[in-house]
Structure 1
């Protein structure tokens, strides 16, 4: 959208900030403190792709020059395009990889339609048949949307994911990596207990037989047992990278032997902290009676344990390895680091035209 509008880096930065704010606030409007979980998720909906479409639409609308009424229209139009079902988190299928891209596609399309005259309902959020009713069945906390809007920002509190896996698995990965550093003998492990917030078990611990035997690297990205075991084995990137989530590793007999010994259970302390962190406590017992315990209560990549610019660049390099040559990768890293000073967003995107395809 920024490229189509001829926008500069400063305008893009502003639009991204506002878009993320809209996304986070709509997402938190669907958080139920009594359930201690997202109402979206309780209904089988992927809040990332639903709320993400709404936020991205506001960002795209800003970039193409929509005024206040136009931005309201773009929310109204996008609400009819936002979608995402999360059953793939539990039992497999790669469709979830499409969700964020579809949200962005919907957003850019909606902004373009509104620019050409399409309109949406002015009560798209709170109306009788609006967003809150359609997606949350009216169980929305409106104050999460309006309180401190424009004064207190959610954006500084967002988390960057260090590992290419479901965010609920990250503390388990960190615990596994920490136990690896303590030289826990993998060949003597008798039992592993992964304790997590109650609300996340359905995503990373159920059905447990499937989570202990992921058939693909994609399924492994949503497996609590695989997360702990992969951490114990160690990997690339920032501890684990894309090369650690392959079909072959998901089926690796040594990893599966350890995954078979992992139980995923609810932990009261972790449940109290959720959803502001996605904590985990891992206990490992060996066949000679020794026990190791690792507690990870704050997520790496959040405000309490931020990733450095160098670490973020390292993750990017890991993600594009084999797709972009090193010189091009460095150009993109440098452009992103100086995004506010980029005069034409096309300068940021142009190096990506050298992207290699899977058949190259």
Structure 2
């Protein structure tokens, strides 16, 4: 299935060359933005039930004290990556990349930070390694999507593990052959399917943590001398052949390499204003726009019609036994937006999931395929059109092409700070939030990780 000979080796060469160059100023700032968004989500997730369960596993299975698992103390690099990666995805607050439908920070940052602490690496090297790994992960996800999703795979772990392996390979200063072996080994770790959707399984949270851990293992094994297929991307039995199939044959090599090192696709990641699946955000934005423009009260609504792209229509579940089910439910989040005028983390609590007004309005929500939205997603938009019919017969329509937080509808640094404060102030207070924000904007070392960890653990002991 090769459409470009030596594709994996060419990418490995780029990784080595790029690792020896400073980041462009706009990329440096963007990675710091991503760092703040990521760590706020990690801290907020670290006190949840999924984090506790994975923490028990880490305490049983991993020994060491080289790296910080925020909210859980020191452990091995593998254990820290597993926990921090899980927590990075733990409340659905993590940014993402629309063309690839994946979340690079929750896989790559935890792997980089764990190894950087273990090996005593800090400063610009950490940011460069992170940027390279996330750039590669986004491109791999883009090259395979939506074929990979249509084959039931979760892009964040299956593409993310390559980004984590590449980033750690940069920290380990592997040569091009070593990087190619690390990528080849990562191909044997790529895993994660969407069967959690619609059920009560929480394994989705675990996927980035597993990929972060496995990315470290891939690079570490390559450094130790184990070889992997250096044709993992282009090979007949390689990643794209297995995960994208015939749908991926026409464009995957071009997507991986076009403008590589000059056009950073990572600059086109989005930030989430709402802690739920990104596929739902366009509809939420549309409901809020109608609500605000018409001073609409939820009691006046007769029905809500949501037209969107096909993958988003799969998120029409109405079973709300868990927080995750609610975070993946278009009918629920649209109803919350209509009733409360916002969608925040507290809106996914059991009391809200059982709120009679919200549940009744959720039953009045229909989700359908919008052909124009389907034609746009994922390459040019993430659209949703909402039509609200009121009890007095009005039909109020609003269409969103790009939800808030996309690069074409960006979230400001100030709003990003507000988001971070909203996530962490309940745990670590305003002073702790201020310290976290300043540490990310002025990032140079990972020393503040232990302070953040201690603050989160102090909160955990009081709840």
The normalised TM-score by structure 2 is 0.70
Aligned pair partner of 1:350 in 447, 450, 462: 450
CA contact (8 A) 1:124 1:131 kept: yes
Cα pair 2:297 2:339 within 8 Å, conserved: no
CA contact (8 A) 1:215 1:251 kept: no
Would you say 1:193 and 2:305 are equivalent positions? yes
Q: Does 1:228 align with 2:310?
A: no
- Secondary structure at the residue paired with 1:118? coil
8 Å CA contact 2:198–2:319 kept in 1: the answer is no
- What residue number does 1:121 align with? 229
TM-score, normalised with respect to structure 1 = 0.89
1:194-244 CA-to-partner distances (Å, cap 9, x unmatched) read 111123212x12xxxxx2342222111111111211111236xxx422112
Q: 1:321 to 1:30 in 2, by over 3 A?
A: same
Question: What SS class does the counterpart of residue 70 from structure 1 fall into?
Answer: helix
Q: Tell me, yes or no, if the aligned pair for 1:164 and 1:242 is still in contact at 8 Å.
A: yes
Q: Measure, in 2, the Cα distance between the counterparts of 1:318 and 1:69.
A: 45
Confirm whether residue 169 of structure 1 aligns to residue 272 of structure 2: no
1:26 equivalenced with 2:26 (yes/no): no
Q: CA deviation at 1:321?
A: 4.0
* Equivalent-residue separation in structure 1 for 2:427 and 2:171 (angstroms): 29
One of 264, 272, 278 as aligned partner of 1:153: 264
Give the Cα–Cα distance (whole angstroms) in 2 for the partners of residues 240 and 188 of structure 1.
20
Work out whether residues 278 and 299 of structure 1, in 8 Å CA contact, stay in contact via their aligned partners in 2.
yes
Q: Match for residue 34 of structure 1?
A: none
List aligned pairs for 1:61-140, cutoff 5 A.
61-140=169-248
Q: Which runs of 5+ in 1 are unaligned?
A: 32-37, 206-210
Distance in 1 between residues matched to 2:417 and 2:172, nearest whole Å: 29
1:265 partner SS: strand
Equivalent residue in structure 2 for 1:247, among 327, 350, 366: 350
Cα deviation per residue 1:171-201 (whole Å; 9 max; x = unaligned)?
1111222223232121121111011112321
Distance (whole Å) between structure 2 residues aligned to residue 18 and residue 54 of structure 1 = 11
Hey, what's the Cα distance between the residues in 2 that align with 1:130 and 1:290?
Answer: 54
Q: Which moved more, 1:134-143 or 1:165-174?
A: 134-143
